[in-house]
Amino acid sequence: MGGRVHLNDVPAKPSSPVRVGDEVRADKPSGLRLLEVKRLGERRLSAPLARELYEDHSPPPPPREERVGLRARGTGRPTKRDRRLLEDLRRGR
């Protein structure tokens, strides 16, 4: 499931033309990405070279959640009851 992409605060399509100085905003499940176009590429580039074409103004990602319910090594697979208890913990019940 993808997020929304805006080009200069206007919803963008994959075919939307991009110019130098444009701001690209992408709302992704992993967080917000804010990119400013610095240069245009003549052809398709590798990822390291493509990173030189834009400036990333994205806010830092949110802190990762700590894992709940780690089991001791050697205890085997969790039972159905164990899995349900873990689900309840994760959901805050």
User: What's 10's DSSP letter?
Assistant: E
Q: What is the number of other CB atoms lying within 10 angstroms of the CB of residue 25? A: 19
In the prediction, which pLDDT does 64 show?
Answer: 77
d(CA 78, CA 84): 10
Computed over its alpha carbons, how large is the radius of gyration of the chain? 21
Select the more confidently predicted residue: 93 or 42.
Answer: 42
Domain ranges of the chain: 4-56
In the prediction, which pLDDT does 2 show?
Answer: 63
Closest CA to 25 of 34, 17, 16: 34
Q: Is the domain covering 4-56 a CATH 3.30.430.20 domain?
A: no
In the prediction, which pLDDT does 44 show?
Answer: 93
pLDDT, tens digit (0-9, with 9 covering 90-100), for 68-78: 667 778 888 88
Mean pLDDT, range 5-27, rounded to an integer: 94
pLDDT, tens digit (0-9, with 9 covering 90-100), for 32-76: 999 999 999 999 999 999 999 999 999 998 787 776 667 778 888
Please, are residues 38 and 53 in contact by the beta-carbon 8 Å criterion? yes
